[in-house]
Structure 1
Amino acid sequence: MSPLLLFPDFAIIALGYLLRRFWMAPAAWVTIEKLVYFVLFPCLLFFSVVSSNFNVSTVGSFALGGPTVIFASFLLGWLGLLVSKMGRVDFASGLQTAYRFNSYIGLALASRLGGQSAVANIAILLALGVPLCNVLAVGTMSKGGRFTAFLEILKNPLIIGTSLGIAAKLLGVQVPEPMMLTLERLAQAAVSLGLLAVGSGLVFSGLKGNWAVSIWWLFIKLMVSPLLAVLYAHFMNLPEEQAVVLLVFSAIPSASSAYILAARMGGNAPLVACLISMSTVGAAMTLPLVFALAQRFPL
């Protein structure tokens, strides 16, 4: 697995940053991200699950790997209290970046490394990871309104797309060929536009004296989480493809949804935006290292 396989995806992210900075207006990127999030990525997830050889009945311990890594990273992130004097809500908003994941990058890397089968596998991790991350984030930041948050989780387009694909697999539904071709075209557009949207959101200011705890959270996200994934895959004896998908899932940078939630719930949104950007740039350097180590010490 050559680190050069990761270059195209991060090159597209860099292009998105340059386009936002020097050419396209911010309002255009809001529209693009909505298109990707609500239309293109659900189509990609549904198409990948339905068209692959993915077998729901063989998921087993693999499906628990994502939630295990997320929750362990969440707990380790709290050790940042030892070096931080932030208030509870501000701290919890930044803590998100230690355990949340960028679905766009994860799906792009899975597609490049393992095709539709890998995308179908990572879709399962997304379907379990998205609600868990939201429960952890809302539970630590909010003073109420958990029922509303639960409804938002149920309406998440990524969960809906994956759930519909799994349901079609379980029921043996044969999707008509013209519809599958349409979904395939939309899926091809999803990855590139999603990565461009990630690049457009990069921001590199907002730490303001929180360097120690920020470095700790970034270290967990980019280095500790992949290590946890390797250990889990080894001890659970996961098949090679599932082990690689779990590693990808655990090594990808933090998600822009962490910034949105921090802004909505009165957290430290500028700090979160900066941490997301730093984790994205950092992942361009740590992902090749993670894969190189995984090759040297087989999963």
Structure 2
Amino acid sequence: MRRKATITILSISFLLSIFAYNAYTYHQLSSAEGAYKLAGISNSEKLIAVYHDKNFWQFATYNEKTNTLKLYTISQSSPFWPKKRKVESAKALVNYSPLSLDLKVLRDYKPHEKALLFKTLGWKYNEELVEVPYPKIFDVVSPDVNYFEIIGTLSGKGIRIGARNDGSEMISWIEGVRGLLLLPGRIDSTNISHGFIWVVLEKNESSQIVRTYYPGVILERSIRTVKEKQSFRGVLLQKALNNASVKLEIHKTPEFGILRFHAAKNEVILDIIWKVSPDQICHAQKNLLKNTTNGPVCYYKTR
């Protein structure tokens, strides 16, 4: 009898300790500083972006020494359930050191349903996220420059870093997607978007310049071109966009979407790709000079 009572007391104590810890972590998630501590981020990684949406937090970091982006996602639905922690990593497309944040800014967080922290924006809350001045396609194209590709990528659900498990392995032929920090955006209307991060692959003799356009800041690096690729003049794309009707036939903002402008047989082609669900990606292609469209065709991920 005494042994049974002891086991019962120990079991109750164990359950109470679990509940107490879960209640503690749930309380920590009410502040940016508390959530950051629960993420368990190394001191060698610099914080570059934060996103909060209801019951989960995301922290994007950059390690300049290893040129690695990491994304920490922390969530907990209630004090009765344990927290969930997920870590993704990818080699960065450019050097993200200029975007590193002072951890003191985490103290400035004010409780809101949705929040975004980015160096050039500070904290943005709820409806303010819709008004973030993301660059548009005409902001990044120069008429006298030769381009290999111009890629716009949008994240419909929080921060992304182009890691393999976000679906980019299904479209791995697009170089400007992997290792790219994406902030949360949305489809606004035909021809206009909020939240597209633009990557420009610019021809420069035997090398190419990679530029990434964020709200209020441009990051770039130069890489040597291994094989010759067809390029197109910026003015050609500008004229094509003025003459063609480019519609994103998406009824709601997808998990992520991609616009890829490139040259093929002396014509400017636009690939439109969007991820509908974790297992479905759709693709349509538009010839901007002929104003013709093929697709969309949807592909399903095999398990």
Higher helix share: 1
Q: Greater strand percent: which structure?
A: 2
Larger radius of gyration, structure 1 or 2? Answer: 2
